[in-house]
Amino acid sequence: MSSETAAPAPPCVMIIFGAGGDLTKRKLIPALFHLCHGGLLPDTFAVLGLDRLDLDDGAYRDLLAAEVRQHVGSAWDAQTWDRLCGQLHYMKADFTDVESHMALCEHLTRLDADRGTEGNYLFYLAVPPSLFGGITRLLGEVGLTAEAADDWRRVIIEKPFGHDLESAQDLNRMLHETLDEEQIYRIDHYLGKETVQNIMVFRFSNGFIEPLWNRQHIDHVQITVAESVGVEHRGAYYEEAGALRDMIPNHLLVLLGFLAMEPPNSFDSCAVRDEINKVLDAIQPLTPEQVLTHAVRGQYGEGSMPSREQVQAYRSSPGVAPNSRTETFAALKLTMDNWRWAGVPFYLRTGKRLPAQYTEVAIQFKKAPTTMFKGMDLEDMNPDMMVLRIQPDEGIQLGFSAKVPGPTMRIGTVNMDFCYADYFGNAPATGYETLIYDCMHGDATLFKHADTVEKGWEIVESVMDVWQALPARNFPNYAAGTWGPEAAEDLLRNDGRRWRPIATPSPTRCGQ
């Protein structure tokens, strides 16, 4: 989506369940602010916030003003806020109660008449997942999910989409009782990040990349999603989830899907989904024996972050058991059984209290077959590496060999570095803008379909089973501020490889 060429969204009301919650204040309304600033919201648009707070429209607008101002930072402008603010409405509701849903019907009819929103509704469920089924059922009961020829009804739900395969299937079944799959938009804000979409553009609109993108030329792939933060106020949730459940079936596997997919016939949601699902189908689930050697878990103890801040152990966080066995770090080695990727390992790692808040994909190419430079050993030469940086500074870096100037033949590694911000500026974004806008347009390309969610759980199920059957005995096994347990290094070392060193605290280059 580019605001220079994109048309405003169609007329609609965005109904936010959980309008007084954290996600709404920090992400959703700021994302609408950015869309409004870019001219991408029509005049025929309204937000109807629902929550149990006792507020009227004016008080709700006041509540959000301070939050939005804080979260959009330097992008704040009063004119944009005035425009958006006039489109914000509020209704007190109990989401478990049919009367509230009936009142919602009446409210929406009034908004359609006043605002020209034409009966198009985007329901955003910014609530705990335990409420998804009940809310969609009640929306169905009061007739708000039925689409007519000239209007649409769509529902965005937030992760987690279940906590294992069975619960994900239950959730999908529950949603499908009221909604068609085409009406359900499962959001993963990682897919709203420019670089994730740009993986597709990079791979499929540059003729020179695709011939290299396979097992002939690629030695292995590393995906790192590192968080420097701890569990903060989410201790109780995290105790039940852990790093594997929280990150791998959704963010990391979808990234892997975009990296490894075959070219889809078009950039159309069904075509893209089918190709991602084929990748997930080709991933070999680990056998219980393989889990012991191909999967690593860790939990952080107290330690010192690169900022020199001393931080407490996971087990000392609020809401966390003092003898917790929940992992805050997970790494996997996965392989794919298909023509393009057979024999190419994909190493995934994610964790909390790592030294940087940083996401990247590193693609290591195979070495040259021989060296013709006298005195140079192939072993001395670094392999060529392409790094797709996803956050914080989105960009692409290619590391390759070059001659060090001088009379003798010496070879060093140099980097070509492309930064999005250098070329396209730094458009402020929360990661939700594209996704909300796409949903308003009915484009589900960047959303997860039911089968993608279930396949993600299938892949990690054996790991979850073994880890549950054999609780970790050596937790905590890494200090906060380090790159995880030693076993994560061994995962690659045993294959004669190593994780790409990542600068700390945050390897930013753009805008420096």
Known catalytic residues? Answer: 251
The piece of 76-84, 120-128, 322-330, 360-368 that touches ligand NAP (CB under 6 A) is 120-128
Per CB under 6 A, the list member of 58, 70, 86, 96 interacting with ligand NAP is 96
Q: Count the residues of the shown chain that bind ligand NAP, applying the rule CB under 6 A.
A: 20
Least Å distance, CB 164 to ligand NAP, is 16
Instruction: Please name which of 163, 467, 454 lies closest in space to residue 281, comparing C-alpha atoms.
Output: 454
Burial classification of residue 412, based on how many CB atoms lie within 10 Å of its CB (0-12 exposed, 13-18 middle, 19 or more buried): exposed
Residues 6+ away with beta carbon under 8 Å from 219: 344, 364, 365, 366, 367, 383, 497
What are 268's two structure tokens? 């159309």
Asked if 442 is part of the footprint of ligand NAP (rule: CB under 6 A), the reply reads no
Least Å distance, CB 95 to ligand NAP, is 4
- Interface positions, 157-196, toward ligand NAP (CB under 6 A): 158-159
Least Å distance, CB 13 to ligand NAP, is 18
Q: What is the DSSP string of 65-123?
A: HHHHHHHHGGG--HHHHHHHHTTEEEEE--TT-HHHHHHHHHHHHHHHHHH--TT-EEE
CA distances from 173 to 145, 153, 186 (A): 16, 19, 14
Q: Coil, strand or helix: which one is 185?
A: strand
Per CB under 6 A, the list member of 77, 82, 94, 337 interacting with ligand NAP is 94
Per CB under 6 A, the list member of 22, 240, 289, 490 interacting with ligand NAP is 22
**Alpha helix (H) residue ranges in 336-393:** none
Per CB under 6 A, the list member of 11, 20, 298, 345 interacting with ligand NAP is 20
- Interface positions, 45-64, toward ligand NAP (CB under 6 A): 51-52
Q: Are β-strands 358-365 and 385-391 bridged in parallel, bridged antiparallel, or unpaired?
A: antiparallel
When the beta carbons of 28 and 385 are compared against ligand NAP, the nearer one is 28
Q: What's the distance, Cα to Cα, between the start and end of the chain in Å?
A: 26
Per CB under 6 A, the list member of 95, 121, 190, 437 interacting with ligand NAP is 95
Asked if 127 is part of the footprint of ligand NAP (rule: CB under 6 A), the reply reads yes
Asked if 436 is part of the footprint of ligand NAP (rule: CB under 6 A), the reply reads no
On the question of a cis peptide bond just before residue 369, with omega within 30 degrees of 0, the verdict is: no
The piece of 21-29, 322-330, 333-341, 343-351 that touches ligand NAP (CB under 6 A) is 21-29
Residue pair 420/395 in contact (Cβ under 8 Å)? The answer is yes
Residue pair 418/404 in contact (Cβ under 8 Å)? The answer is no
Least Å distance, CB 28 to ligand NAP, is 9
Which residue(s) pair with 330 in the sheet? Answer: 297, 350
Asked if 93 is part of the footprint of ligand NAP (rule: CB under 6 A), the reply reads yes
Which residue(s) pair with 412 in the sheet? Answer: 402
Least Å distance, CB 187 to ligand NAP, is 8
What are 126's two structure tokens? 């910014």
When the beta carbons of 155 and 261 are compared against ligand NAP, the nearer one is 155
Q: List phi, psi (to 5°) of 340.
A: -75, -35
Least Å distance, CB 331 to ligand NAP, is 23
Asked if 21 is part of the footprint of ligand NAP (rule: CB under 6 A), the reply reads yes
Q: What is the DSSP string of 228-287?
A: -S--GGGHHHHHHHHHHHHHIIIIIHHHHHHHHPPPPSSS-HHHHHHHHHHHHHHB-PPP
When the beta carbons of 154 and 220 are compared against ligand NAP, the nearer one is 154
The piece of 2-10, 58-66, 126-134, 329-337 that touches ligand NAP (CB under 6 A) is 126-134
Least Å distance, CB 299 to ligand NAP, is 22
Asked if 99 is part of the footprint of ligand NAP (rule: CB under 6 A), the reply reads no
When the beta carbons of 27 and 115 are compared against ligand NAP, the nearer one is 27
Residue pair 343/217 in contact (Cβ under 8 Å)? The answer is no
When the beta carbons of 135 and 488 are compared against ligand NAP, the nearer one is 135
Q: Give the count of beta carbons closer than 10 Å to the beta carbon of residue 7.
A: 9
Least Å distance, CB 438 to ligand NAP, is 18
When the beta carbons of 20 and 38 are compared against ligand NAP, the nearer one is 20
Per CB under 6 A, the list member of 15, 55, 111, 126 interacting with ligand NAP is 126
The piece of 8-16, 35-43, 88-96, 141-149 that touches ligand NAP (CB under 6 A) is 88-96
Instruction: Please name which of 334, 345, 369 lies closest in space to residue 215, comparing C-alpha atoms.
Output: 345
Q: Coil, strand or helix: which one is 459?
A: helix
Asked if 18 is part of the footprint of ligand NAP (rule: CB under 6 A), the reply reads yes
Question: Which residues are at the interface with ligand NAP (CB under 6 A)?
Answer: 18, 20-23, 26-27, 51-52, 93-96, 126-129, 131, 158-159
